[in-house]
Amino acid sequence: MKQLLRAVKRCSVIAAVALAAVSLQPAGASAAPQPVVGGTRAAQGEFPFMVRLSMGCGGALYAKDIVLTAAHCVNGSGNNTSITATAGVVDLQSSSAIKVKSTKVLQAPGYNGAGKDWALIKLAKPIDLPTLKIATNTAYNNGDFTVAGWGAATEGGSQQRYLLKASVPFVSDAECQAAYGSDLIPGEEICAGLVDTGGVDTCQGDSGGPMFRKDNAGAWIQVGIVSWGQGCARPGYPGVYSEVSTFAAQIASAAATL
């Protein structure tokens, strides 16, 4: 079941559920589209660290020349000039969009489709925009989180022109395991969403994008990376995100090699 669920990560259609959390649609699951409720259009400059990647995923500026995204969005590690990162705008068609090509990709060591869902993309030149710091411990793995992306606004729908945002509450490991059983890897993943009602979540095309909240100083801090889920915004099935704090040291070490 794990490989089935994770085979349809939230890439290429991640969207918006209003960003509705990027839910993965397992093969054979009901394909009935479900609108994501609760998402709204982000204001220009509201989340300046957001990046759209040309393969149909999201990401965030970890450094001015490095994008943090999901491992399932890339194909291995090495030199790679095929990815275009778009930043600086909420409207992907804006003439003000900053577009920079990739030079290298570093996929999480040991990634095999389950857990360890993070990757770094080195850019050909720095993007002069604010970066998003990542959590280095679990202090902020609670409360309400913000998700944002250009993914689908309905399950199976098209990706969006405008950046959408939504708020999703933390879901405990126990409650998330009630939905996904052994498919969930509690030590590497964190869940969020409206379990009882559904309606707000990330979706296909939001993969790799950040889940973040404010820290004690009022600054944004990334606690998750959009990874997978069943459908989009379905009741009983929260979104599953890579737990950034688990991999913070590895991410920092990897970034230093790029």
Residue 242: the pLDDT is 98
Catalytic residue among 23, 72, 183, 227: 72
In the residue annotation, 102 being an active-site residue is answered as no
- Structure confidence at residue 38 (pLDDT): 53
Q: What is the mean pLDDT of each run of 10 residues along the chain (258 residues)?
A: 40 41 33 42 96 96 98 97 98 97 98 96 98 98 96 83 94 97 96 92 92 97 96 93 98 97
Q: Is 117 one of the annotated active-site residues of the chain?
A: yes
Residues, the chain, total? Answer: 258
Domains, in order of start, for the chain: 2-42+133-245 (2.40.10.10), 50-130+248-257 (2.40.10.10)
* SS3 per residue for the chain: CHHHHHHCCCCCCECCCCCCECCCCCCCCCCCCCECCCCEECCCCCCCCEEEECCCEEEEEEECCEEEECHHHCCCCEECCCCEEEECCCECCCCCCEEEEEEEEEECCCCCCCCCCCEEEEECCCCCCCCCEECCCHHHCCCEEEEEECCCCECCCCCCCECEEEEEEEECHHHHHHHHHHHCCCCCEEEECCCCCCCCCECECCCCCEEEEECCCCCEEEEEEEEECCCCCCCCCCEEEEEHHHHHHHHHHHHHHC
Pick the catalytic residue from 65, 117, 183, 206.
117
pLDDT (0 to 100) of residue 9: 55
State in Å, rounded, how far the first CA of the chain is from the last one: 35
Can 65 be counted among the known catalytic residues? Answer: no
At 169, give phi and psi (nearest 5°): -85, 155
Q: What pTM did the predictor assign? A: 0.88
Whole-number pLDDT of residue 3: 35
| pLDDT at 159 (0 to 100) | 85
